[in-house]
Amino acid sequence: MPKGGSPEEELNALLPASVAVRFDEMFPSVRARRVRRRDRKRAEMLRKAEPVLQRALGPLEVVRFVTNGARQLAWGLVTAGSMNPFTNRTIFVLTDKRILLIHTDSKQRPRLFANQLPLERIRAATGRHSYIFIRSGREQLMFHGVKRGEAKYLRRLLESTPAKEGGWQNLCPRCFVATDDAPKSCARCGETFKDPRKAALRSLLFPGLGDLYLGYRWYALLEILGAAFLWTLFVVVLVPAVRARGFSGVLIALPVLAFVALLHGSDAILTRAKARSGLHSLDRALPTGDTETT
């Protein structure tokens, strides 16, 4: 990392070469001739997202700001989706045309899906502390985990944008064409997407299977282990109870069974919501710097 040069030189060296950046919006502290750690982190974030940005952004589109955090569609709060750090990590890229959300892994590499919100569709951007609320269409996106100062700055960048109808758009993870709905396959490149209903049914059958199908492997593993534990508990309670009391022993184990059933049901609902939060490609993920690009 070059350290000797000016702040601009140092940051430019970190930025991806193929992405146009509005420098003074992206790095507001540089005017004070300083490079903050967060500035370096943001430049790095952008570099990791480069394979997606290259394909998703228009030829004249300029990146204004980037930050990372967790996204949350409003009603997902009800389903405890916020306790799900494995599946909702996102990079938030603001350009002169849109907000681009890129799902990432824990190392901020693009992973499963991407969405976008054209700026003219933003009805309101509010928030407090490290929270940003963006209202559009019938949905409100909650983005959190952003550094406080950055959240405030970002909200200011988002303020006073004209409002049109419509909400978030899904992006095809392969050709990055935008769509307002959730098609079974991409109208432009033919890429097929995972079916939210299939994902939900799998989770109903056994918690975690739907997540596995969607590609959230670690979260799936945790759920499968948790559900397996509860099923084991059910059997451990059931067998001695039936031995001791015959058929009426089943009643004793019934509460455990009810709990397990509840888990299956709620995981199905949660999995469906996760599947619908973006287009999950059937046989590929988002491009990262690691994989060969096509």
Q: Are 116 and 98 in contact (CB under 8 A)?
A: yes
Cβ-based neighbour number of residue 283 at 10 Å: 8
Q: Are 155 and 127 in contact (CB under 8 A)?
A: yes
Q: Is the dihedral of CA 211, 217, 223, 229 positive or negative?
A: positive
* Cα separation values, 21 from 38, 48, 62, 162, 294, Å: 16, 15, 5, 23, 24
- Show the tokens assigned to 227: 């559900």
Q: Are 87 and 76 in contact (CB under 8 A)?
A: no
Is the Cβ of residue 34 or residue 184 nearer to Zn ion in the bound state?
184
The answer to whether 10 contacts Zn ion (rule: CB under 5 A) is no
Total binding residues for Zn ion by CB under 5 A? 7
Is the Cβ of residue 125 or residue 275 nearer to Zn ion in the bound state?
275
From the list 105-113, 189-197, 209-217, 247-255, the region that binds Zn ion by CB under 5 A is 189-197
Which residue among 45, 172, 199, 273 contacts Zn ion (CB under 5 A)?
Answer: 172
CB of 141 to Zn ion, least distance (A): 23
CB of 293 to Zn ion, least distance (A): 15
The answer to whether 186 contacts Zn ion (rule: CB under 5 A) is yes
Which residue among 174, 272, 274, 280 contacts Zn ion (CB under 5 A)?
Answer: 174
The answer to whether 175 contacts Zn ion (rule: CB under 5 A) is yes
Which residue among 39, 150, 191, 211 contacts Zn ion (CB under 5 A)?
Answer: 191
Is the Cβ of residue 58 or residue 255 nearer to Zn ion in the bound state?
58
Q: Are 182 and 276 in contact (CB under 8 A)?
A: yes
Rounded Cα distance, 186 and 179, in Å? 9
The answer to whether 50 contacts Zn ion (rule: CB under 5 A) is no
From the list 32-40, 190-198, 260-268, 275-283, the region that binds Zn ion by CB under 5 A is 190-198
- Helical residues (DSSP H) of 15-130, grouped into ranges: 23-26, 37-56
The answer to whether 189 contacts Zn ion (rule: CB under 5 A) is yes
CB of 196 to Zn ion, least distance (A): 18
**Helix, strand, coil share of the chain (percent; to 5):** 45, 20, 35
The answer to whether 94 contacts Zn ion (rule: CB under 5 A) is no
The answer to whether 56 contacts Zn ion (rule: CB under 5 A) is no
Which residues bind to Zn ion, rule: CB under 5 A?
172, 174-175, 186, 188-189, 191
